[in-house]
Chains A and B, each alone.
Chain A
Amino acid sequence: MTQAALDKALKGPTFHPISAKRKAKNSIAAILFSASFLIAMLPLVWLLYTVLSRGFRAVISSGWWTRSLAGVLPEQFAGGVYHAIYGTIVQAGIAAVISVPLGVMAAIYLVEYGHGRFAKITTFMVDILAGVPSIVAALFIFALWITTLGFPQSAFAVSLALVLLMLPVVVRNTEEMLKLVPDELREASYALGIAKWKTIVRVVVPTALPGMISGILLALARVMGETAPVLVLVGYARSINFNAFEGNMASLPLLIYTELINPEAAGRSRVWGAALTLILLVALLYIAAAFVNRYLTRNRV
């Protein structure tokens, strides 16, 4: 008896193989994580396929890119969306002209100057502005610009609402890019006796420029598809209107929303065609942003 007990090892083996239960849990987790990625890809691929297959015919039809819908009957397969493309680009463009200088200056303030209570409040407000729903931004511009100041509905009012939506994106992105600029560059410039503002304008901003530009392009892509402001702040026009300060102006989202009510097959085809056009515009901006990021960052710090 005692002999047998002494023969037995005092300890069990030091390394146990992983138990079947833990192994199973581990592989189930791995499968679930990979599956969740595939689940997210499903709507993306499905949506792009749908828009491509349903909008393709309309987009390659003659006159799609060069004509408006002026004089085209609801059931007619004719006309194009050039008036809406113009509206989308002009509204987003005006928004960019206002929000880029403002956003870049605010970011410069936050990165280069801001170290106090006021800077903290500003960052907080940027975060809050980023979370303001587009319809609330539109309502605010309606209450301020149209009801209180008495201006008419116009594409410019839409641009003002888009400024509110674009501003936080520009500020945040510029901030990130300015923070990436190494402090040695600033110090080298100060050591040469250059004033702070000149250091920022001639050294810091040029270094961060490619990243800033690509961020601005992405922000533009985001506001181009905004529908809520155009619903509230401007009327739809079937023909081209070059004047951003007066009259109705079409834009791609507004055209889609208006044509949804059209029960004819031609209306449906225009809806999907315009959706594809919008996605192509967004894709173009994304490609431009990637290009800027890739080719202009060379030879820079």
Chain B
Amino acid sequence: MTVKPEPTAVGSSTSTSPQQAGDNEGMPIKTAKGPSLKDGGGRWGDSIFRSMAIAAGATIIGVIALMALFLIIRAVPSLQANMANFFTSSEFVTTDESNLRFGIADLFRVTMLSSVFALLVAVPIAIGIATFLTNYAPRRFAKPFGMLVDLLAAVPSIVFGLWGIFVLAPWLEPVSRFLNDKLGWFFLFADGNVSLAGGGTIFTAGIVLAVMILPIITSVSREVFSLTPAGHVEAAQALGATKWEVVRMTVYPYGRSGMIAGSMLGLGRALGETVAVLIILRSAAKAGNWSLFDGGYTFASKIASAASEFSAKLPTGAYIAAGFVLFALTFVVNALARLAAGGRVSGG
């Protein structure tokens, strides 16, 4: 196929196959025509579109800044009116506006205890699943199996809460009784400040949280595990390593950052989980003692529990102050996750 170069057709014909180009010869050729290449001037569409895109990006930054700003603005008056120490007090009394007494000590304890417990339960299982999906499951099933795990993330948290308190808690009650009986000398399993009956304890809440954060830890670890260089794996195999040794010597060292990042993201989710914890945990009359069988409120569940009474400014500010602490906590945890992953973390 020979194509004759046809200088006149450069600007005019957009979709010409070589054949058509050849047939063109008999047709009248456009004579009067402008320059074939226009300069880029007058493309105001480009600059408008570009500014719109930048504005959208800036909105996201603005939202985060506004969030911190407004939470602080609303919290400061209440913090000034606070009669108790905000960081060390475990009271949270906001009924009397002239005598506000609130502190986050108890909220912090319950939040940390339930989230860290959830993390300790979830991480080994999630890493197990990620290893299973990347190295053990038959290739054909790896994808559908992975989607099944992701389905756990699709279940609304209030449904997790319902299941946790009405179905799981009665099942866990004998387990917690056993742990309390046999290991009660250890502070985590000591008598808590709520009754074991019904299972409205940090123990139950932590296990439900663990189930809820499984998918995110799994998906981040899985992503990194699947990136293990084939050369590393093959080198280990050539040295005669068993499958487990391959995983231990190549996949885990390579994927360590992913495991850490995934765990941090999971921790962030657990810290901020609201309604499942609110439904499950029973409120306690007195402050707890770092036992898994305590009740009480986390930051998030405390705020949600008082949501219907948000009308007077000062008491509401007390909850907003607690909300700001939660915001700061999750900010730090998520930033750490990013740092661990060395850039983006793309967990759902």
**A residues near B167, Cβ cutoff 8 Å:** 46-47, 50
Closest to A121 in B: B61
Interface centre among A109, A193, A272 (most CB of B within 10 A): A109
Distance in angstroms from B251 CB to nearest chain A CB is 11
The 3 closest A-B pairs by CB, nearest first: A133-B272, A225-B156, A36-B128
B50 within 8 Å of A (CB atoms): yes
Q: Is the CB of B272 within 8 A of A256?
A: no
B57 at the interface (CB under 8 A from A): yes
Q: Is residue A34 contacting chain B, with contact meaning CB distance below 8 A?
A: yes
- Mask for B208-232, Cβ within 8 A of A = 1, else 0? 0001001000100000000000000
Whole-angstrom CA separation of A46 from B152 in the bound complex = 11
A-B CB contact pairs (8 Å), 12 listed: A40-B214, A105-B53, A105-B55, A112-B53, A122-B58, A134-B274, A140-B70, A196-B46, A225-B156, A227-B158, A231-B307, A232-B310
Are A133 and B271 in contact (CB-based, < 8 A)?
Answer: yes
Contact indicator A282/B242 (Cβ below 8 Å): no
Of A101, A109, A133, the contact of B326 (CB 8 Å cutoff): A133
Interface of A is mostly: helix
Nearest B residue to A276 via CB reads B159
Is the C-beta of A292 less than 8 angstroms from some C-beta in chain B? Answer: no
Q: What residues of A have a CB within 8 angstroms of the CB of B148 in the complex?
A: 41, 44
Check B56 against A102 for contact (C-beta < 8 Å). yes
Contact of B159 (CB < 8 Å), options: A131, A193, A278? A278
Q: Is B292 an interface residue (CB 8 A)?
A: no
State the CA gap A142–B166 with chains docked (Å): 32
Of the listed residues B137, B145, B218, B244, the one surrounded by the most CB atoms of chain A closer than 10 A to its CB is: B244
Give A133 to B298 CA distance when docked, in angstroms.
13
Count B interface residues, CB 8 Å: 100
**Interchain pairs with CB closer than 8 A, number:** 271
**Contacting residues, chain B, for A198 (C-beta < 8 A):** 45
Q: 17 other contacts beyond A33-B131, A200-B49, with CB at 8 A cut-off?
A: A26-B244, A33-B128, A36-B125, A36-B128, A37-B137, A109-B54, A127-B338, A129-B64, A134-B272, A142-B320, A147-B316, A172-B346, A225-B158, A227-B304, A228-B300, A271-B162, A279-B155
CB <8 Å contact, A113 and B53 = yes
**A12 CA to B41 CA, complexed, in Å:** 81
Within 8 A of A (CB), among B39-75: 43, 45-46, 48-50, 52-61, 63-64, 66-67, 70-71, 73-74
| B140-162, CB < 8 A from A | 145, 148-149, 151-160, 162
A interface list, Cβ under 8 A from B:
18, 22-23, 25-26, 28-30, 32-37, 39-41, 43-44, 46-47, 50-51, 101-106, 108-110, 112-114, 118-119, 121-140, 142-144, 147-148, 164, 167-169, 171-172, 176, 192-193, 195-198, 200-201, 221-222, 224-228, 231-232, 253, 256-257, 260, 271-272, 275, 278-279, 282, 286
Distance in Å from the Cβ of B315 to the closest Cβ of chain A? 12
Expressed in whole angstroms, the minimum distance between the Cβ of B346 and any Cβ of chain A is 6
Which chain B residues lie closer than 8 Å to A196 at the CB level?
A: 46, 49-50
CA distance A216 to B145 in the complex (A): 23
Contact B327 A39 (CB under 8 A): no
Contact A231/B275 with A225-B156, A279-B156 known, Cβ cut-off 8 Å: yes
| Given A40-B129, A51-B159, A232-B310, A133 contacting B274 (CB threshold 8 A) | yes
Using a CB–CB cutoff of 8 Å, the interface residues on chain B facing chain A are 14, 37-38, 43, 45-46, 48-50, 52-61, 63-64, 66-67, 70-71, 73-74, 124-129, 131-133, 135-137, 145, 148-149, 151-160, 162-163, 166-168, 211, 214, 218, 240, 242-245, 247, 265, 268-269, 271-275, 279, 299-300, 303-304, 307-308, 310, 313, 316, 319-320, 323, 326-327, 330-331, 333-335, 337-338, 344-346, 348
CA gap between A284 and B188 in the complex, in Å = 42
Contact indicator B245/A109 (Cβ below 8 Å): no
